[in-house]
Amino acid sequence: MNAYEFLYLIGRLRGISDAHLKALVESLIIVVQLKEHATKRITVYSGGNKRKLSIAVALLGMPPLIFLDEPYAGVDVIARHKIFEAINNMKTNSGSTFLLSSHDMEECEYSCDRIAIMKSGQIRCLGTLQHLREKFGQGYHFEFKL
Protein backbone atom coordinates (compact mmCIF):
# COMPACT_ATOMS: atom_id res chain seq x y z
CA MET A 1 0.00 0.00 0.00
CA ASN A 2 1.36 3.44 -0.86
CA ALA A 3 0.56 6.84 0.68
CA TYR A 4 -2.22 7.61 -1.80
CA GLU A 5 -3.96 4.28 -1.16
CA PHE A 6 -3.56 4.62 2.59
CA LEU A 7 -4.97 8.16 2.68
CA TYR A 8 -7.86 7.15 0.38
CA LEU A 9 -8.66 4.29 2.76
CA ILE A 10 -8.60 6.54 5.83
CA GLY A 11 -10.65 9.20 4.00
CA ARG A 12 -13.33 6.68 3.05
CA LEU A 13 -13.43 5.35 6.62
CA ARG A 14 -13.97 8.92 7.80
CA GLY A 15 -16.86 9.35 5.37
CA ILE A 16 -15.24 11.85 3.03
CA SER A 17 -16.94 11.81 -0.37
CA ASP A 18 -14.95 10.57 -3.36
CA ALA A 19 -15.64 13.89 -5.08
CA HIS A 20 -13.56 15.73 -2.47
CA LEU A 21 -11.15 12.98 -1.49
CA LYS A 22 -8.84 13.04 -4.50
CA ALA A 23 -8.08 16.77 -4.24
CA LEU A 24 -7.78 16.57 -0.47
CA VAL A 25 -5.31 13.67 -0.57
CA GLU A 26 -3.25 15.35 -3.28
CA SER A 27 -3.04 18.61 -1.32
CA LEU A 28 -2.03 16.82 1.89
CA ILE A 29 0.67 14.84 0.06
CA ILE A 30 2.10 18.15 -1.18
CA VAL A 31 1.76 19.93 2.18
CA VAL A 32 3.68 17.26 4.08
CA GLN A 33 6.32 17.02 1.32
CA LEU A 34 5.65 13.37 0.42
CA LYS A 35 5.09 13.81 -3.33
CA GLU A 36 8.28 12.06 -4.45
CA HIS A 37 7.62 9.09 -2.13
CA ALA A 38 3.83 8.86 -2.37
CA THR A 39 3.78 5.95 -4.83
CA LYS A 40 6.30 3.88 -2.84
CA ARG A 41 5.15 1.25 -0.37
CA ILE A 42 4.80 2.84 3.06
CA THR A 43 6.60 -0.13 4.63
CA VAL A 44 9.87 1.19 3.16
CA TYR A 45 9.42 4.79 4.37
CA SER A 46 12.03 6.40 6.58
CA GLY A 47 11.00 7.52 10.05
CA GLY A 48 10.60 11.10 8.82
CA ASN A 49 8.35 10.05 5.94
CA LYS A 50 6.25 7.92 8.28
CA ARG A 51 5.88 11.00 10.50
CA LYS A 52 4.79 13.08 7.49
CA LEU A 53 2.21 10.46 6.54
CA SER A 54 0.85 10.33 10.09
CA ILE A 55 0.43 14.11 10.05
CA ALA A 56 -1.46 13.86 6.75
CA VAL A 57 -3.73 11.22 8.33
CA ALA A 58 -4.39 13.47 11.34
CA LEU A 59 -5.29 16.42 9.10
CA LEU A 60 -7.44 14.41 6.66
CA GLY A 61 -11.02 15.63 6.81
CA MET A 62 -10.24 18.32 9.39
CA PRO A 63 -11.80 16.73 12.46
CA PRO A 64 -12.86 19.19 15.18
CA LEU A 65 -10.01 18.08 17.48
CA ILE A 66 -6.58 17.14 16.16
CA PHE A 67 -3.88 15.64 18.40
CA LEU A 68 -0.29 15.99 17.19
CA ASP A 69 2.43 14.30 19.24
CA GLU A 70 5.85 15.79 18.46
CA PRO A 71 4.76 16.56 14.87
CA TYR A 72 8.11 17.97 13.80
CA ALA A 73 10.34 15.23 15.26
CA GLY A 74 12.40 13.44 12.63
CA VAL A 75 11.16 15.69 9.82
CA ASP A 76 13.56 17.61 7.58
CA VAL A 77 13.75 21.40 7.86
CA ILE A 78 11.89 22.18 4.63
CA ALA A 79 9.03 19.81 5.45
CA ARG A 80 8.93 21.13 9.02
CA HIS A 81 8.36 24.65 7.70
CA LYS A 82 5.66 23.50 5.23
CA ILE A 83 3.87 21.48 7.92
CA PHE A 84 4.08 24.41 10.33
CA GLU A 85 2.52 26.71 7.69
CA ALA A 86 -0.21 24.16 6.93
CA ILE A 87 -1.08 23.70 10.60
CA ASN A 88 -1.25 27.46 11.14
CA ASN A 89 -3.42 27.95 8.04
CA MET A 90 -5.75 25.13 9.05
CA LYS A 91 -5.88 26.37 12.62
CA THR A 92 -6.93 29.80 11.35
CA ASN A 93 -9.35 28.72 8.62
CA SER A 94 -10.90 25.44 9.75
CA GLY A 95 -12.20 26.01 13.24
CA SER A 96 -10.43 22.83 14.37
CA THR A 97 -8.66 22.73 17.71
CA PHE A 98 -5.08 21.46 17.66
CA LEU A 99 -3.47 19.84 20.68
CA LEU A 100 0.27 19.59 20.17
CA SER A 101 2.78 17.94 22.47
CA SER A 102 6.41 18.93 22.24
CA HIS A 103 9.61 19.13 24.24
CA ASP A 104 10.74 22.05 22.08
CA MET A 105 9.59 25.44 23.39
CA GLU A 106 10.47 27.10 20.08
CA GLU A 107 7.98 24.81 18.29
CA CYS A 108 5.36 25.70 20.87
CA GLU A 109 6.11 29.39 20.53
CA TYR A 110 5.47 29.32 16.78
CA SER A 111 2.62 26.79 16.72
CA CYS A 112 0.50 27.43 19.81
CA ASP A 113 -1.89 30.06 21.11
CA ARG A 114 -1.86 28.63 24.64
CA ILE A 115 0.80 26.53 26.31
CA ALA A 116 0.59 24.08 29.21
CA ILE A 117 3.82 23.04 30.90
CA MET A 118 3.75 19.65 32.56
CA LYS A 119 6.00 18.04 35.14
CA SER A 120 5.56 14.44 36.29
CA GLY A 121 2.24 14.20 34.45
CA GLN A 122 0.75 17.28 36.13
CA ILE A 123 0.03 20.63 34.50
CA ARG A 124 2.20 23.16 36.35
CA CYS A 125 1.27 26.27 34.39
CA LEU A 126 -1.12 27.18 31.60
CA GLY A 127 -1.54 30.32 29.57
CA THR A 128 -0.56 32.30 26.54
CA LEU A 129 3.09 32.58 25.64
CA GLN A 130 3.04 36.22 26.77
CA HIS A 131 1.51 35.26 30.14
CA LEU A 132 4.09 32.53 30.73
CA ARG A 133 6.95 34.86 29.81
CA GLU A 134 5.67 37.55 32.17
CA LYS A 135 5.15 35.12 35.02
CA PHE A 136 8.08 32.74 34.61
CA GLY A 137 10.36 34.21 31.96
CA GLN A 138 12.61 36.30 34.13
CA GLY A 139 15.62 34.24 33.12
CA TYR A 140 19.00 34.60 34.75
CA HIS A 141 21.19 37.58 35.30
CA PHE A 142 24.93 37.02 35.43
CA GLU A 143 27.54 39.53 36.50
CA PHE A 144 31.13 38.93 35.63
CA LYS A 145 33.97 40.84 37.21
CA LEU A 146 37.32 40.75 35.48
Asked if 112 and 129 touch (Cβ cutoff 8 Å), the reply is yes
**Residue 143 scores a pLDDT above 80:** no
The residue ranges of every structural domain in the chain are 3-101
Handedness of CA 78, 84, 90, 96 (dihedral sign): positive
pLDDT at res. 39 = 96
pLDDT confidence tier of residue 132, bands split at 50, 70 and 90: confident
Total-model pTM = 0.73
Helix (H) or strand (E) holding 114: strand 114-119
Asked if 34 and 42 touch (Cβ cutoff 8 Å), the reply is no
Which residues, 6 or more positions from 49, have their beta carbon under 8 angstroms from its beta carbon?
Answer: 34, 37
What would be the CATH architecture of the domain defined by 3-101?
3-Layer(aba) Sandwich (3.40)
- What pLDDT digit, counting tens, does each position of 64-89 carry? 888 888 887 777 788 788 778 777 87
| DSSP-assigned letter for residue 71 | T
